Amino acid sequence: MKYKKVVVAGGGVLGSQIAFQSAYCGFDVTIWLRSEDSKTRTQPKLDSLKEAYLKALKLMNTEKSESVWCCGLSDFDSFNYDECVKKVENAYNTIKLEIDMNKAMKDADLVIESMAENTDAKIEFYKKLAPTLSEKTVLVTNSSTLLPSTFAKYTGRPSKYLSLHFANNIWKKNTAEVMAHEETDKKYFDEIIEFANAIRMVALPLRKEKNGYLLNSMLVPFLLSGFDLMVNGISDCESIDKAWTLGTGAPKGPFQIMDIVGLVTVKNIVEQYQKVPGLFKPFLKKMMMPYNFKGMLEILNKYISENKLGVSTKEGFYKY
C-alpha cells in the first residue's frame, strides 16, 4: 500500500473523526463537503476533536494506566507525549475542507464515503463522484448498515470498492470492519486492511456481506429494543438506560448511545432496518410483535424538526 492522499466525503460525526485520525497518522487529508454551510458545521467538530485528543493524551501521560489508554493514539510501551501532541497539532493544521468535488478528489489514493445512511442519496453521490476519480483511486464506504454490493455498479470501479466501517470515538474504540463484495479484488481488500492498521485501527475482516457488519449486527438490535420499550409506553428513557447500565455494568444505555451517534443517523438506521430481511425469525414472530418502527420514526422526526439531534446540538433524548 502506497496511499498518501485520503479524501473523506462527509464531515459528520464519524467523517470528521476518520479524517482527524488519518491526519494524525500522517496522511494528507481532505474533507469534501457539499456546501459552505457544511464547512461551517464541520469545523467545530474538528475543533472539538483536537481538544478531545489533547485531553486523552494528557490523561494518558498523567496516569500511565492501561485503563485510560487510547490505543488509536499510541502503543502503551512506546508512548511519547510530546510527539503525540505534535501529531495532533499537525492533523488539525493540515486537514483541508473543500466543496469543489473535482479539486478535492484530484490525485486521491483513497476516498472514504461517510455520508448519511440513505440509499438513494449514496447512489446519487457515487454517480457524481465516479467521473472525478483517478484510475488508481480506491473507494470505500463507512456505511453502518448498507451493503457495498448495493452501490458497486454506480462507483465506476467495483473491483476497487468495498466497506470500511469505524466505531464512534475512533481514537478510543479503534476498530475497523473491512467487508468486500463479490466483485472486490482481493488486492484492494488487503490494501484496506493495511490502511486500517496504518491509522492505528484493529482491522476486522468480514468474509461475507452482512447488514450491520459485526458491531452493528449486535448493537442496533440492542438500541431498537430499548427504543421500543419507550415508544410503547413501557418506561422512560432514563429508567431504561439505568436498567441496562446498573444491571450490566455497561457505561451507557441505549438512549445515551443514540444521542452520541446522532438522531439523524438513528433515523436512517431505523428506516433501513425496517427493510432488513430475516430481522425477525419466523418462530420469534409468534412470541413477540416486531419493533414499533412507526412510533420510533414519529419521535425521531419530531426531535429532528426541533433540532434536538443529540450531543452535537446539546439536546436529544437528554440535555447536555
Evaluate whether 129 touches 105 at the Cβ level (below 8 Å). Answer: yes
pLDDT at position 80, please?
98
Average pLDDT, the chain: 93
* Rounded CA separation 55/72 (Å): 14
**pLDDT > 90? residue 291:** no
**pLDDT > 80? residue 131:** yes
pLDDT at position 212, please?
81
Q: Is residue 244 part of a domain?
A: yes
Specify whether 199 is located in the same domain as 227. no
* Rounded CA separation 267/68 (Å): 32
Specify whether 226 is located in the same domain as 188. no
pLDDT in tens, 105-115: 999 999 999 99
**pLDDT > 90? residue 49:** yes
Specify whether 114 is located in the same domain as 134. yes
Specify whether 190 is located in the same domain as 279. no
- Supply the CATH number for residue 299's domain: 1.10.1040.10
- Tell me the mean pLDDT in the region 290-299: 92
Q: Is residue 224 part of a domain?
A: yes
**pLDDT > 80? residue 286:** no
Q: Is residue 212 part of a domain?
A: no
Evaluate whether 173 touches 17 at the Cβ level (below 8 Å). Answer: no
- Domain residues for 31? 5-206
Angle, CA of 281, 225 and 149, to the nearest 5°? 60
pLDDT at position 283, please?
43
Specify whether 143 is located in the same domain as 186. yes
- Tell me the mean pLDDT in the region 213-221: 89
Q: Last residue of some domain: 152, 177, 206?
A: 206
Task: Give residue 116's pLDDT band: very low, low, confident or very high (50, 70, 90).
Answer: confident
**pLDDT > 80? residue 235:** yes
Which residues is 161 bridged to in the sheet?
139
Evaluate whether 259 touches 317 at the Cβ level (below 8 Å). Answer: yes
User: What is the pairing mode between strands 175-179 and 161-166?
Assistant: antiparallel
Percentage of the chain lying above the pLDDT 90 cut:
83
pLDDT at position 279, please?
53
**pLDDT > 50? residue 287:** no
Counted domains in the chain: 2
Higher pLDDT, residue 127 or 145 = 127
Q: Is residue 318 part of a domain?
A: no
- DSSP-derived secondary structure for 78-127: T--HHHHHHHHHHHHHH-EEE--HHHHHTT-SEEEE---S-HHHHHHHHH
Task: Give residue 35's pLDDT band: very low, low, confident or very high (50, 70, 90).
Answer: very high
pLDDT at position 289, please?
55
Which helix (H) or strand (E) covers residue 139, if one does?
strand 138-141
Backbone angles phi, psi at 272, to 5 degrees: -70, -40
Verdict on whether the full-model pTM lies above 0.85: no
34: number of Cβ within 10 Å: 14
- Tell me the mean pLDDT in the region 73-99: 98
Specify whether 109 is located in the same domain as 221. no
Q: How many residues does the chain have?
A: 320
pLDDT at position 233, please?
96
Specify whether 56 is located in the same domain as 197. yes
Specify whether 187 is located in the same domain as 239. no
Task: Give residue 276's pLDDT band: very low, low, confident or very high (50, 70, 90).
Answer: low
Q: Last residue of some domain: 206, 226, 246?
A: 206
pLDDT in tens, 139-183: 999 997 789 999 999 999 999 999 999 998 999 999 999 999 999
Among the ranges given (81-90, 128-137, 215-224, 311-320), the one the predictor scored with the smallest mean pLDDT: 215-224
pLDDT at position 144, please?
78
Evaluate whether 268 touches 116 at the Cβ level (below 8 Å). Answer: yes
* Rounded CA separation 212/121 (Å): 19
**pLDDT > 50? residue 217:** yes
Q: Is residue 45 part of a domain?
A: yes
